[in-house]
Amino acid sequence: MTDETPNDLVLERVLNAPRAAIWRCWTEPALLEQWFCPKPWSVSDARIDLRPGGEFFTVMNGPGGERFENIGVFLDIVPGEKLVFTDAFVPGWRPNGKPFMAASVILSDTDDGRTDYVARAMHWNAETKAEHEAMGFHQGWGAAADQLEALAKTL
């Protein structure tokens, strides 16, 4: 078998929370800010314009005063089921920066009322994938998913 998606990094989990709650955590700025970055980092100033080409903006704040702005756009939205976004464009469909990835989040119900959660980071080449992996993709997205699950359970 050949891997048709060799430049992807994938996190798959079953989250113990309802799908609708996980969707809210991804799409409501006040909720996203609570889980999107592994602690002690945090997110502020999230802006979510949930339509194709709409803005997805966050600021990641580090414990030592670090501040990173992330801007991108949404590509595809299927409410409650699927979200795709990328940093390759800013609103107005203007190319921006050095394209790093497109990411998709796919949610589906499990038979026992939990949520199958597949978060996929899709890169344009093997070098960027390796860079993302070295930055700690699995640990970082895993820790964020733990925080997401904990928050979604409370909704």
Residues forming the site for a copy of itself (CB under 8 A): 5, 7, 52-53, 75-76, 84, 86, 88-89, 93-99, 101-102, 104, 122-125
Measured between its terminal Cα atoms, the distance across the chain in Å is 42
Give the whole-angstrom CA distance, residue 25 versus residue 137.
20
Nearer to a copy of itself, 57 or 124 (CB): 124
Burial code (b: 16+ CB inside 10 Å, e: under 16) for 30-60 equals ebbbbbbbbeebbbeebebeeeeebbbbbbb
In the complex, what is the shortest distance from the CB of residue 132 to a copy of itself, in angstroms, rounded to a whole number? 12
| Residues belonging to the chain | 155
Nearer to a copy of itself, 36 or 74 (CB): 74
In the complex, what is the shortest distance from the CB of residue 5 to a copy of itself, in angstroms, rounded to a whole number? 8
In the complex, what is the shortest distance from the CB of residue 84 to a copy of itself, in angstroms, rounded to a whole number? 5
In the complex, what is the shortest distance from the CB of residue 92 to a copy of itself, in angstroms, rounded to a whole number? 9
Nearer to a copy of itself, 21 or 104 (CB): 104
- The answer to whether 45 touches 68, Cβ cutoff 8 Å, is no
Nearer to a copy of itself, 98 or 154 (CB): 98
Q: Which of 22, 2, 36, 5 is nearest to 141 (CA)?
A: 36
